[in-house]
Amino acid sequence: MRFYAPFCLPFLIGVAVMFSLIVWKYVVWFAELPRADKKRVLYGIPTPRTLAAVWEVIRECLLHRRIFRVNPLLGYMHMSLAFGWFLLIVVGWTETVAYLGLHWVPLQGHVFFRYFAPPLMLRDKPFFDFTMDLLLLFVLSGVALAWLKRFWSRAMGMRRTTRHVPGDRIALSALWFIFPARLFAESITCGIYGMGGFLTGGLGALMASAFGRSTLVVFEQGAWWFYSIALGVFFVALPFSRYMHIFTEIPLIFLRRYGVRPHEKESSGDQFQIQACSRCGICIDPCQLQSVLGIDNVQSVYFLRDRRYGMLTRDVAQNCLMCGRCQVKCPVGIDLNTLRLNSRDTMRNTPDERRYEYFAGLDRSEGAGKVGYFAGCMTLLTPRTLSAMERIFAAAGEEVWWADRNGGVCCGRPLKLSGETDSARRMMEYNTQLFRRHGIRTLVTSCPICLKVFREEYRLDGIRVVHHSQYILEMIEQGRLRLGRGMATYTYHDPCELGRGSGIYEEPRRVIEAVGALLEPAHTREEALCCGSSVANTVISDADQVRIAESVAGELAATGADAIVTACPLCKKALVRGTSSVEVCDLSEIVAKNLR
């Protein structure tokens, strides 16, 4: 049996190029991983995590469960293309086995089976004819949705869709043509030989009666050439385009399960994340820089694209609020913020050993309690929060060690967010030593920015780090704070660093409910908006920050609450500028006001 025709060449070349490039890329990235990460992978393989990863690959790479959760129509589009194509390959393979038994058939024999089948005088197998046609229809429905999305994204529930680079456009066009081309090629062959299922057979019979079989014979080779070229072009373009995500998400899922994540510094492991981005553009709509300010070249999809192709500019890397709204929506689960941070590190980190020499011998703390309070720079700028905390500590009868009431060193997160990670490390070392020297057991902070860095970057073994919302709730539950519940209504703004950043949603809400009624705004919890004044962004202007604050404060005020409550001094400062009608206060203020 011969399974060869000249039109197979473009396809075969494409497959060879694609797989050799992909294997080469993966081998290089893996070889360049830090030693600790390699160890994690090696020790992770013989554990149940491998099975969990396999299950996740089936769920995400084939069925696309996470996209379904974000947007069902987009989920169906991706599933029909990925799962449909996968089933076409698997069922096609089974079909050749069913016809020919367990003989070795070259790759092109499987892929172009409909072309090679008739001359072999194979008996009809209606089950396979029907199934293959059904699957082809399934994939074609996805392709139709993809066309619709490109021309009218709102129909698919997306306000904006990604603007693509030329390489992506070539791959995209090839992908669009693969399945219609397959339909026509198979239909023509089926029309000539009078076989096929409901779709290819039906279309083939229709064309045979309309144009005559002899015309179809003329066009048969051309149609198969076109199909093969479409496949070949797509496969060659794949490793250079966004379609690299089709394969790269698989190693990414395994690496993530084994605990390999992006670090503070760039590493080759980041490539698994960057090239797993499908540029679906789901991250564009949640971005407030886009929806409020109309900035549309800095979103995560563009950041990852620019970084991948080595055209990342400082403006794109720095112009981000790092609110994490895109990260919770990302269907691939890419660590978008960490990647942006290590890009900033590469661009800006210039260690200077002497810059913080003035920390030596510095200690302005006071008090002697086992509970430490770190106000943080921003709380020192919102003295009402600080004095409210003083009253709360006094009411709870807590002896407090005040870390920085008379001035202190910043927690280091703002500097880290701007990319100067090595210098930020010096602040972290200073503060760690300060906390240790005073022997505190609990560290309370009213600034979520500090909280996040204390929890994630500091090595504070033996010191429990809590946000003031958690501390206040504990005091209420232990009966050490007695609060009067008034008639006032409050709405709560989730600070990014506290909610999405540290996973604290419940405690502030329960504290608010202890003093009044809580009204939820339209966007809340994981969906909460950013106040716009994030220290992570050093590009947007003051006026832009106010515009974001106005949109957020407007939404919060629309709940009709008497006051907007937040649990972050920076959010408070920002929101105050966004509204003139409603009072904005910190959680600690309403607690202090309602102390009994």
Q: How many residues make up the chain in this entry?
A: 596
**Can you read off the two tokens belonging to residue 362?**
């510095």
Piece of the chain touching other proteins by CB under 8 A; list 395-403, 409-417, 552-560, 587-595: 409-417
Is-contact 185 171, C-beta < 8 A?
no
Q: Is the CB of 84 or the CB of 578 nearer to other proteins?
A: 578
Does position 91 interact with other proteins (CB under 8 A)? The reply is: no
Q: Interface with other proteins includes 312 (CB under 8 A)?
A: no
Stretch that binds other proteins, among 36-44, 193-201, 404-412, 578-586 (CB under 8 A): 404-412
Identify the DSSP state of 366.
Answer: B
Between 275 and 534, name the residue whose CB sits nearer to other proteins.
534
| Angstrom distances, CA of residue 217 to CA of 94, 187, 190, 214 | 28, 12, 11, 5
The token duo for 148 is 């619709």
Given candidates 13, 105, 122, 380, which one binds other proteins under the rule CB under 8 A? 380
Are the C-beta atoms of 564 and 585 separated by less than 8 Å? yes
Residue 414 touching other proteins (CB under 8 A): yes
Q: How far is CA 485 from the centre of its chain?
A: 40
Contacts of 168 (CB under 8 A, 6+ apart): 241, 242, 279
The correct pick among 174, 409, 512, 582 for binding other proteins (CB under 8 A) is 409
Asked if 230 interacts with other proteins (CB under 8 A), we say no
- C-beta of 379: minimal distance to other proteins in Å? 10
Q: Which is nearer to other proteins, 350 or 580 (CB)?
A: 350
d(CA 388, CA 405): 13
How would you class 196 by CB atoms within 10 Å of its CB: exposed for 0-12, middle for 13-18, buried for 19 or more?
buried
Give the residue, chosen from 397, 542, 581, 596, that forms a contact with other proteins under the rule CB under 8 A.
542
In the complex, least distance from residue 479 CB atom to other proteins, rounded to whole angstroms: 37
CB of 547 to other proteins, least distance (A): 12
Nearer to other proteins, 237 or 409 (CB): 409
Binding to other proteins by residue 360, rule CB under 8 A?
A: no
Q: Which residue pairs, CB below 8 angstroms and at least 24 apart, start in 115-122?
A: 115/5, 115/185, 115/189, 115/224, 116/1, 116/3, 116/5, 118/189, 118/192, 118/193, 118/195, 120/1
Binding range to other proteins, per CB under 8 A, among 143-151, 162-170, 179-187, 536-544: 536-544
CA distance 190 to 132: 13
Kind and range of the H or E run holding 174:
helix 166-193
Q: Which of residues 451-480 bind other proteins (CB under 8 A)?
A: none
Q: How far is the CB of 535 from other proteins (least distance, A)?
A: 5
What pairs with residue 445 in β-bridges?
374, 467
The reply on whether position 538 binds other proteins by CB under 8 A is yes
What are the structure tokens assigned to 213, written together? 């079989």
Structure tokens at 190: 């089926």
Binding mask 43-82 for other proteins (x = CB under 8 A): ----------------------------------------
Q: Residue 365 CB, nearest distance to other proteins (Å)?
A: 13
| From candidates 46, 101, 407, 503, binder to other proteins by CB under 8 A | 407
551-570 binders of other proteins (CB under 8 A):
570
562 vs 10: CA distance, rounded Å: 68
Q: In this structure, are residues 198 and 126 in contact, taking their beta carbons and an 8 Å threshold?
A: no
Q: Cβ closer to other proteins: 442 or 545?
A: 545
Nearest residue to 419 (alpha-carbon basis) of 242, 266, 293? 266
- Judged by CB, which is closer to other proteins: 357, or 461? 357
Using rule CB under 8 A, residue 427 touches other proteins? yes
Quick one: tokens of 218?
């003329």
Q: Nearest approach, Cβ of 285 to other proteins (angstroms)? A: 27
- To the nearest whole angstrom, how small is the minimum distance from the Cβ of residue 333 to other proteins? 30
- Note whether 560 and 591 are within 8 A (CB): no
DSSP code of residue 581: S
Q: Does 355 bind other proteins (CB under 8 A)?
A: yes
CB of 536 to other proteins, least distance (A): 10
Contact (CB, 8 A) for 511 and 567:
no
Distance of closest approach, residue 86 Cβ to other proteins, in angstroms: 48
Count other Cβ atoms within 10 Å, centred on residue 214.
9
Return d(Cα 411, Cα 402) in angstroms, integer.
15
Q: Which stretch binds other proteins (CB under 8 A): 46-54, 334-342, 452-460, 538-546?
A: 538-546
Burial class (CB in 10 A: 0-12, 13-18, 19+), 488: middle
Contact status: 410 vs other proteins (CB under 8 A): yes
Minimum CB separation of residue 18 from other proteins in Å reads 39
Examine residue 315 and tell whether it contacts other proteins (CB under 8 A): no
Residue of 57, 328, 539, 595 interacting with other proteins (CB under 8 A): 539
103 binding other proteins? (CB under 8 A)? no
Least separation, in Å, of the C-beta of 372 and other proteins?
Answer: 18
Question: Is residue 200 within 8 Å of 114, Cβ to Cβ?
Answer: yes
Token pair in block for residue 288: 């407030």
**Secondary structure letter of residue 536 according to DSSP:** T
Any contact of residue 415 with other proteins (CB under 8 A)? Answer: yes
Stretch of 20-28, 136-144, 271-279, 377-385 lying at the interface with other proteins (CB under 8 A):
377-385
Q: Which stretch binds other proteins (CB under 8 A): 158-166, 203-211, 265-273, 353-361?
A: 353-361
Shortest Cβ distance from residue 437 to other proteins (Å)?
A: 17
Q: What is the 3-state secondary structure (H, E, C) of 431-451?
A: HHHHHHHCCCCEEEECCHHHH
Site residues (vs other proteins, CB under 8 A): 348, 350, 352, 354-356, 358-359, 362, 377-378, 380-381, 407-410, 412, 414-415, 418, 420, 427, 533, 535, 538-543, 570, 573
